[in-house]
Amino acid sequence: MSPEPVVVFAAVSLPFVAALLMPLAFRLLGERTGYLAAGVSFLCFALLATQHGAEGVVSLAWIPSLGISLRFAVDGWAVLFALVASGMGVLVSIYSPAYLHGESGLARYYAALVAFLGSILGVALAADLIALFVFWELTSLCSFVLIGFHTEDDSSRYAARMSMLVTVGGGLFMLAGFLLLAQAAGDPASFDLAAMLAEPGPVRDSLREAGLFVPALALIAVGATTKSAQVPVHFWLPSAMAAPTPVSAFLHSATMVKVGVYLLGRLRPLLESPEWSLLFSALGLATMLVCAMLAVASTDVKELLAYSTASHLGLMVAGFGFASGYGAEAGVFHLLNHALFKAALFLIAGIVAHEAGTRELAELGGLRHELPFTAAITAVVALSMAGIPPFSGFYSKELLFNATVEAAGQIPGAIGWLYPAVAVLASVFTVLYSVRFLALFFGSRPDGLGHVTRPAPILLVSPAILGALTAVISVSPGIAIETVVRPAVDATVTEPREMPHVIPTSYSTAVGMSALAIGLGLAAYPFYGRFHRGIGGLSAAIPPVAATWWYDAAIDGLERAGRGLAARVQNGLLRTYATWTLGATCAIALAGFAAAGALSGTMVELEASIPIALVAAVAVVAAIAVVRSPSHVVGVLTLSIVGFMLAIVYILASAPDLALTQLVVETLVLLVFLLVIEEIPESAELPVPKFSEMALGRVGRDAVLSLAVGATAFVTVLVTTDARPEGASEIARYYAEQAVPEGGGTNIVNVVLVDFRAFDTMGELVVVAVAAISVLTLLVMRGRGEDA
Amino acid sequence: MTAIVLAATVGALFALGTFLMLRRDLVRVVWGLALVGQAANLYLLTAGEIAPATHDAVPVLAGHGEVPETADPLVQALVLTAIVIGFGMTAFALVLSYRVYEEHGTLDLAEIGGREVSEGRERTRSDGGDRR
């Protein structure tokens, strides 16, 4: 079955249209706008569900001259991710109105939320590298708006800026990587990702030949790892928890942070290689371990979940890193499981914070009495997170353990066994913090905890649905595997194979690893406080251990450098501004000419009659006199000489209209100058210092700059006139020939001004009118007390 | 082909204009601006070929019928627009300098600039204090 273009385009564009209408809808519906957003998300979900099982590409021309089009590919992997995103959009939109009751800025919130849904669907379906990049950065922008939802809150703004810098910056690296891919894909560059994935061999070979395989891989990896919060750029994710909890559930656990993982799955058939495996399996496992440890050190419920999310993202990245089929299966299946259980956990954390009034882990506990239903859901999803059989997280983690064992077997020596060892160690910490989260409900109740209210029933709907789905996959993983996971895995591997049974029937190394991890985790739980303090104390004792320290240092340094530069370049003195601007312009222009090779071999020709040369010489002499003029009046009069000489040049250059205009304007300028100068007493004039008294250093500097500017202008005229085509240009001929038939006038310049380019002339008149009004304002308004 | 005479004129006018723009006297800065504007107009004109002043080269046609080779009418139209805009700019700059003189009682940019900067610094400092 091939995809239905109308349906696919409708599914991606619908949220954007809805985003535009949200402010209007908010006026009509108020806080119930959330249900409208849920409706939009559900419509997208339904539209995409009809494409389940379809495979193929639909496209719409966008920038045909560059070979860029709005191309969407539908396959199992795209559909799985798009369904997860839109389904999560529905649940989060249902949850939001009750959670954000009474907050301001909700129109912006819902607009950003649905716009984000559109962007993420775009990422999921895009099969054109440029379209993919645009949607990718759009998700970062929406995330920026949503993290900064509390605009008046400093920490919220700080977090929004941090996530923006990290993810958008990473996206730019990815763009560079995409350009390398596009170069390798064909000549002229082709951005068609679907074609590359269909024929990965030639692209890979041409990248290898050019020696650009590793750079391209590294650049794309930067994009994917920043987005998916891998070590060492994992630090933005916990900060992003400044966002309202529904946003954390939607963007920062289930969807946006997964686009990095998604991209790895997408590009895996294209870039799969030993370098790929080494990079991503090592990076993923490192993240899995480091972030699981940091989760144990967390003091805040959402912080714990954020680190845990980064750790699970590491699991998926590692999965896609391993070359084996197990790896891809682990990545895909865990993406689904994690989206379900982690979003539920975030929504539960939101309920706890909402009802108990605190998110501090130390202040919470034993909530099962007040929140029995929430506690039941938590039990399912938290055990799934821990990877305890028979919950869903166990199955996908088993697949990863299998992948690590397989990879270890292929690497000679003991070093390969680092893979399984790190995976098990990370899982021990996973068990630890999962149990800690469960203790919020099942542990003992701290004395300080005040009255906990019952949540509104509507808040429980979304976590209950997620919990139920997790339970279904736990009981019968086959259903999910057959319907969505296997088609997705097929799209991310080069050689499709039969998906293994995930419910273990006999002992294997992977089962042993799970047992070891769970056993050690449970055994270590009584010492949780020690781990918690130990890991937390390490980063407090040595600040550079924490990644945020580096971020803050870099940003502070940038800000300081920026302030220093501004004080130097823009110090309030006009000459400083002029010096920097003119100097930079000259440098750039000359460098441009040099780079373009325009400076060599120009034919020097006079192209001016002797009269023109003489008159021009007089103009230059007059200009020198202006510079050396002892008083304002003398200077103004000599300045006029320059203008009138140029008028004569225009006459000699067959431009009578210019000469006329120049004469009129010159006369007017002279009058205006004299009128103004008359008002300024001579005492205000700055005396022109005698040459012997001049501050030689300053004058010398000015002279050097002036000569540089003059030389640049000279060279520019030479270079441009040298490049001028022979004879009259096409457009000049057109104007000359059409002046009479089209414009009905014999003076071609006049016809051009009032007919062919009449809009330019109108703009010019506007400029003169604005100048006149400004002059009037400046002169007249002073007496009337402008300040008042 | 290059137009070395006009290139030299444009270069010289640019250099002198720049030198004036770097002076402390505001009126001289305006002169510099005007000079650079004139030079830019001349540069625009050279972008079309400079035609010797003959009867045919003037871009005014005798009437209907054969169209002779004329000087480039497009650059002339552009320069004409530029001259008028340059006039507006010079007039505005001049009146602005007059206003500056009225407000500050001086045309010395070094004095005015220094004052602005120190005032600005004080303002930022007091703002910062308020925020804290």
For chain B, what are the domain ranges?
Answer: 2-50+70-127
Q: Is the pLDDT of residue A119 over 60?
A: yes
Q: Is the pLDDT of residue B7 over 60?
A: yes
Which pairs from A608-616 meet CB under 8 Å and 24+ separation?
A: A608/B3, A608/B5, A608/B6, A608/B50, A609/A652, A609/B52, A611/A652, A612/A649, A612/A652, A612/A653, A612/B5, A612/B6, A612/B50, A613/B5, A615/A645, A615/A648, A615/A649, A615/A652, A616/A645, A616/A649, A616/B5, A616/B6, A616/B8, A616/B9
A135 near A259, Cβ under 8 Å? no
The maximal CA–CA distance of chain B, rounded, in angstroms, is: 79
CA distance, residue A692 to nearest chain B CA (Å): 17
Q: Is the pLDDT of residue A733 over 80?
A: yes
Q: Which residues of B touch A606 (CB under 8 A)?
A: 3-5
CA A775 to chain centre: 44
Same domain, A469 and A331: yes
Beta-ladder partners of A70? A60
Q: Could you say which of A721, A747, A763 is where a domain stops?
A: A721
Residue A411 vs residue A312, higher pLDDT: A312
Same domain, A615 and A539: no
A420 near A513, Cβ under 8 Å? yes
What number of CA atoms fall less than 13 Å from residue A561's CA on the CB side? 6
B38 near A756, Cβ under 8 Å? no
Residue A500 vs residue A641, higher pLDDT: A641
Q: Which CATH architecture has domain B2-50+70-127?
A: Orthogonal Bundle (1.10)
| The pLDDT value given to residue A171 | 94
Q: Which residues of A230-253 are buried (b: 16+ CB within 10 A; e: fewer)?
A: bbebbbbbbbbbbbbbbbbbbbbb
Same domain, A482 and A625: no
| The pLDDT value given to residue A611 | 85
A185 near A196, Cβ under 8 Å? yes
Q: At what angle do helices A106-125 and A5-29 cross, to 10 degrees?
A: 170
Q: Determine the residue type at A526.
A: P
CA A24 to chain centre: 27
CA distance, residue B104 to nearest chain A CA (Å): 11
CA distance, residue A666 to nearest chain B CA (Å): 8
Nearest CA in chain B to A716: B7
Looking at A160-164, A618-622, A720-724, which range is the least confident one? Answer: A720-724
Report if residue A143 sits inside a domain: no
Same domain, A564 and A576: no
Q: How far is CA A126 from CA A10, A69, A71, A150, A203, in A?
A: 14, 10, 6, 32, 19
Predicted confidence band of residue B127 (pLDDT cuts 50, 70, 90):
very low
Same domain, A325 and A342: yes
Q: Which residues of A touch B16 (CB under 8 A)?
A: 620, 623-624, 626-627, 706, 710
CA–CA gap between residue A64 and residue A69 (Å, rounded) = 7
Is residue A601 classed exposed, middle or buried when 0-12, 13-18 and 19+ CB atoms within 10 A define those classes?
exposed
Q: What are phi and psi of B25, to 5 degrees?
A: -80, 120
Q: What is the mean pLDDT of residues A106-127?
A: 94
Q: Is the pLDDT of residue A52 over 60?
A: yes
> Is there a contact between A732 and B16 if contact means CB atoms under 8 Å apart?
no
Q: Is the pLDDT of residue B121 over 60?
A: no
Q: Which residues of A touch B69 (CB under 8 A)?
A: 728
Q: Is the pLDDT of residue B132 over 60?
A: no
Q: Strands A56-63, A68-74: parallel, antiparallel or unpaired by DSSP?
A: antiparallel
Q: Is the pLDDT of residue A745 over 90?
A: no
Report if residue A675 sits inside a domain: yes
| The pLDDT value given to residue A518 | 93
Q: What percentage of chain A carries pLDDT values higher than 90?
A: 56
Mean residue pLDDT across chain A: 89
Select from A698, A717, A774, A786 the residue whose CB has the most chain B CBs within 10 Å, as the one to mutate to test that interface. Answer: A717
Q: Is the pLDDT of residue A147 over 90?
A: yes
> Is there a contact between B108 and A686 if contact means CB atoms under 8 Å apart?
yes
- Counted domains in chain A: 2
Nearest CA in chain B to A658: B80
Q: Which residues contact A528 (CB under 8 A, 6 or more apart)?
A: A296, A432, A435, A436
Same domain, A564 and A589: no
B29 near B13, Cβ under 8 Å? no
Q: Is the pLDDT of residue A706 over 90?
A: yes
Same domain, A585 and A519: no
Nearest CA in chain B to A575: B22
Whether B125 contacts chain A with CB within 8 A: no
Q: What is the mean pLDDT of residues A511-516?
A: 91
Q: Which residues of A touch B39 (CB under 8 A)?
A: 713
| The pLDDT value given to residue A69 | 86
Q: Is the pLDDT of residue A464 over 90?
A: yes
Same domain, A292 and A320: yes
Range of the domain at A671: 572-721
Looking at A124-138, A537-551, A726-740, which range is the least confident one? Answer: A537-551
Whether B33 contacts chain A with CB within 8 A: no
Same domain, A516 and A596: no
A85 near A124, Cβ under 8 Å? yes
Instruction: Show the tokens assigned to A249.
Output: 């559930």
Select from A629, A634, A658, A726 the residue whose CB has the most chain B CBs within 10 Å, as the one to mutate to test that interface. Answer: A658
Among B46, B15, B39, CA closest to A646: B39
| The pLDDT value given to residue A2 | 86
Q: Is the pLDDT of residue A692 over 80?
A: no
Instruction: Show the tokens assigned to A503.
Output: 């419910």
Report if residue A257 sits inside a domain: no
Give the model confidence (pLDDT) of A607-660 as tens digits. 567 888 899 999 999 999 999 988 889 999 999 999 999 999 999 888 889 999
Same domain, A470 and A335: yes
Predicted confidence band of residue A181 (pLDDT cuts 50, 70, 90):
very high
Q: Which residues contact A504 (CB under 8 A, 6 or more apart)?
A: A398, A510, A511
> Is there a contact between A717 and B7 if contact means CB atoms under 8 Å apart?
yes
Which of B1, B5, B35 comes nearest A722 by C-beta? B1
Report if residue A536 sits inside a domain: yes
Q: Could you say which of A517, A548, A570 is where a domain stops?
A: A570
Q: Determine the residue type at A271.
A: L
Q: Determine the residue type at A66.
A: L
| The pLDDT value given to residue A585 | 95
Whether B1 contacts chain A with CB within 8 A: yes
Select from B69, B80, B117, B122 the residue whose CB has the most chain A CBs within 10 Å, as the one to mutate to test that interface. Answer: B80
> Is there a contact between B98 and A680 if contact means CB atoms under 8 Å apart?
yes
Among A11, A139, A15, CA closest to A74: A11
CA distance, residue A141 to nearest chain B CA (Å): 28
A71 near A194, Cβ under 8 Å? yes
| The pLDDT value given to residue B130 | 39
| The pLDDT value given to residue A695 | 67
B:61-120 residues touching chain A, CB 8 A cutoff = 61-64, 67, 69-74, 76-77, 79-81, 83-92, 94-99, 101-102, 105-110, 113-114, 116-117, 120
CA–CA gap between residue A44 and residue A762 (Å, rounded) = 49
- Coil, strand, or helix at residue A724? coil
Q: What are phi and psi of A126, to 5 degrees?
A: -60, 135
Give the model confidence (pLDDT) of A570-588 as tens digits. 888 888 899 999 999 999 9
Q: Could you say which of A539, A570, A601 is where a domain stops?
A: A570
Q: What is the 3-state secondary structure (H, E, C) of A617-659?
A: HHHHHHHHHHHHCCCHHHHHHHHHHHHHHHHHHHHHCCCHHHH
CA distance, residue A156 to nearest chain B CA (Å): 18
Report if residue A168 sits inside a domain: no
Percent of chain B that is helix, strand, coil (3-state, to 5):
70, 0, 25
- Coil, strand, or helix at residue A447? coil
pTM confidence score: 0.79
Across the A:B interface, residue pairs with CB atoms under 8 Å apart total 307
Q: What is the mean pLDDT of residues A65-94?
A: 91
Which of A617, A623, A668 comes nearest B35 by C-beta? A623
Q: What are phi and psi of A68, to 5 degrees?
A: -105, 130
Is residue A787 classed exposed, middle or buried when 0-12, 13-18 and 19+ CB atoms within 10 A define those classes?
exposed
CA–CA gap between residue A265 and residue A362 (Å, rounded) = 39
CA–CA gap between residue A430 and residue A521 (Å, rounded) = 8
Same domain, A600 and A559: no
Same domain, A544 and A607: no
